[in-house]
Amino acid sequence: MTSVRPLGITVAAVAFLLSCVAAQAQPSSFGTFRGAFEHACRNYATLDRNGDGIMEIESLRAVTTARGVGRGAVLVAVEERLWSRDGSAADLQPALRRFVSDIARDGFHIGLAVTRLHASARHQDGETVLALRQWVQAVYRQVPDLKSLVLVGNFPAPFLVRQYYWRRTDGLTLLAGTAAARTWDAVSHVRSIAEVIAMPGDIVLADLDGNWDQAYRRLPEQVAGLLAAFPDDPKGEVTEFHQRTAERYEDFFMVQDGYWEEYPGPGAKRRFVFPGERNAECAVADLRRVNVLAQPEIAVGRINALHAAIEPNPDIRGVRGEGLLDAEGRPQAVEFAGPDAVPSPTILWRTSSTLERRLLQEYFDRNHAYRHATASPAWLPASITTEWGSSVPDMQSGVPGWRNASAPLLDIRNPKTTIADFAAWMARPALARAMKAHAGSTGFGFEPPADYAAYGSAVGPGFWWWTKQGARLVPDPRPLGGWVNYGLLRSLYENRKLSGAPAFYLHTGCEGMQPAHFEREPYNSGLYGQWQIAEALLMLGDGLALVGRGKVFYDEPREFWKCMGEGGTFGDAWRRYFDVESADAELAADGIGRKRAYFWSVIGDCTLSLPASLRSPRS
């Protein structure tokens, strides 16, 4: 017999759960929180969690705490290089201390720590995530009303892979391209192949009692897969028609719901038996859910400007000595000796620590102004979509203050929505912005503009994206068609064509949260996260927080705006989706999609709420 071994639930995980349940009998005082926070920072000042001689946490120290009133607790971890003062760029310490005060003013106990994590060519992001998770768990054991973790800077993210034993009845081809190929237009068959389901998969950091440490795989691994057709067996077990597959992954968390047992059958046939999903990543309490999936105890928000903070490479020069920017700092065309001399897109940009700090300073200024605002005509819902429905009705249903809101120019729904419509929409003030379009890690798409001249006026002078045209690099939006990418957002930002109103984003585009090159590059690589579209929206598009999906799928988080309308934080609304999904008996039968909540994550400040004037009176 051959089988794929399921992961187990450890005694330690059960003990952790029981200790947290016991602690929940008493609310956390500020003294309890401060003691737990400072003790955890001392205990995890350095950490080599797997004893391999490499410190996942190279340094961690408590910097400041502040008292809240009754809403739980928040941890903030700041990358050490951003906390350090840099004489040539913005000093972020005042903004970060103000951020701490603002969160405490909103009712949360808060502790800010400064950390330096492992960063090298070694691909072990998940190991470092687990080390950071241990620090959070240490606080949570004593402070069970811990609500959020906010990461400021460039932190590693968990990469999730899932395998599911998927029974299907559509067409199938086995051994395609070989003499033994066999095709059916429709046949009972099984597909059990590991696939990417989330990057970032912050359920790993947020689920503090789950078994994610057992799910982690650092080294490259060929995950065995199976395609098997059962044209003659109604039970779908015995067949001679099958194909082995293997998918290569490294530095990942494996959600193994697709293991099978295999036995010899009559003649050349094999018998494949699926014993059922074990949900091995889930805590004991989560196994009792109607639809079993891991539940987040806290929310996680990432405030990272690194990938948006890029400047045109000043070393690139044309035949006349011209650079990518003119004397006034605007994009210009550059001519080279010939087509082969034109630089590749990957070297056109350089990371700028000065711009990174400026974007973060602007973000925290925007965050502070929003928290202290009393009223604004810009507090409206907005949605832009192509063939999918508008999000405005859901926003109006969930948020009392939007029940009678009417702003037709903010609700664009048309199969022929253009990129010019998007640029105009971004120029109109709104508080909540939902976007539905085909997407990838570096952009999302609408129809091209009908009039490029008018579109150019809406975007402003100088387009911050260069494309190769013969022996020249030309800043021109036309080759992009309707594709919204970093270049468009940077152009709107630089030319001050945005509304200036702070916004919450719901981005339903497939893979919109994924960082480029994550499957082969560690988080500190220069290739990782190039031109990441969600981070560009947050940092360049007046963002406060953004929730999006890291996989190709078709869902959006249920009851998100309802939770916000009840007074929940942006992170609470993300967590609500897991709660709703886990109570759905119908979804429990949809094996391939029943853990789709894992696909979603948050960037920005997950502790923010809607203004009190928009929320339910009881909140």
- Identify whether residues 583 and 525 lie together within a single domain: yes
CB 112 within 8 A of CB 60: no
**For the chain, percent of residues with pLDDT exceeding 70:** 95
Co-location of 442 and 559 in the same domain:
yes
Residues 147 and 167 in one domain: no
Domain boundary among 288, 321, 347: 288
Task: Report d(CA 158, CA 243) in Å as an integer.
Answer: 30
- Amino acid 591: pLDDT: 85
Same domain, 117 and 217: no
User: pTM of this prediction?
Assistant: 0.94
Element containing residue 572 per DSSP (H, E): helix 570-582
Domain harbouring 388, CATH code: 3.40.50
Of 537-541, 548-552, 614-618, the least confident: 614-618
Region 376-391: mean pLDDT is 93
Domain shared by 412 and 553, yes or no: yes
Look at residue 309 and tell me if it is in a domain. no
Q: Is 288 exposed, middle or buried (0-12, 13-18, 19+ CB in 10 A)?
A: exposed
Beta strands in 49-188 (DSSP E): 57-66, 73-79, 109-117, 146-152, 160-164, 166-168, 172-174, 182-184
pLDDT at 13 over 60: no
pLDDT tens sequence across 420-441: 999 999 999 999 999 999 999 9
Task: Specify the pLDDT at position 192.
Answer: 97
pLDDT on residue 87: 77
Q: What is the pLDDT of residue 619?
A: 54
* Closest among 123, 120, 153, 151 to 135, alpha carbons compared: 151
As a whole number, mean pLDDT of residues 120-132 equals 97
Are residue 193 and residue 95 in the same domain, yes or no? no
Q: Which pLDDT value is given to residue 407?
A: 86
| Residue 319: per-residue pLDDT | 98
What is the span of the domain harbouring residue 482? 378-614
Residues 216 and 121 in one domain: no
- DSSP H/E element including 582: helix 570-582
Question: pLDDT at position 27, please?
Answer: 80
Report the pLDDT value the prediction gives residue 23, as an integer from 0 to 100. Answer: 45
Q: Which of 288, 323, 343 is the last residue of a domain?
A: 288
Mean per-residue pLDDT over the chain, rounded: 94
The residue among 5 and 424 whose pLDDT is bigger is 424
* Residue that the structure tokens 């973060």 belong to: 360
Q: Are residues 414 and 535 in the same domain?
A: yes
Q: Assess whether 466 and 398 both reside in one domain.
A: yes
619, part of any domain: no
Residue 3 has pLDDT above 60, yes or no: no
Q: Which of 118, 135, 152 is the last residue of a domain?
A: 152
Burial of 199 (0-12, 13-18, 19+ CB in 10 A): buried
pLDDT value, residue 22: 44
> Which of 529, 564, 334 minimizes the C-alpha distance to 432?
564
CA distances from 436 to 19, 385, 391, 554 (A): 42, 5, 9, 10
For residue 7, is pLDDT > 70? no
Residue-wise pLDDT for 146-183, tens only, equals: 999 999 999 999 999 999 999 999 999 999 999 999 99
Predicted pLDDT at 2 = 38
Structure tokens at 581: 């999904």
The domain tally of the chain equals 3
Q: Is the pLDDT of residue 553 over 90?
A: no
Residue 446 sits in the same domain as residue 593: yes
Question: Average pLDDT for residues 409-416, to the nearest whole number?
Answer: 94
Share of the chain above pLDDT 90, in %: 90
Q: Is residue 464 part of a domain?
A: yes
Quick one: 112 and 249 in the same domain? no
Does 469 score more than 50 pLDDT? yes
Q: What is the pLDDT of residue 8?
A: 43
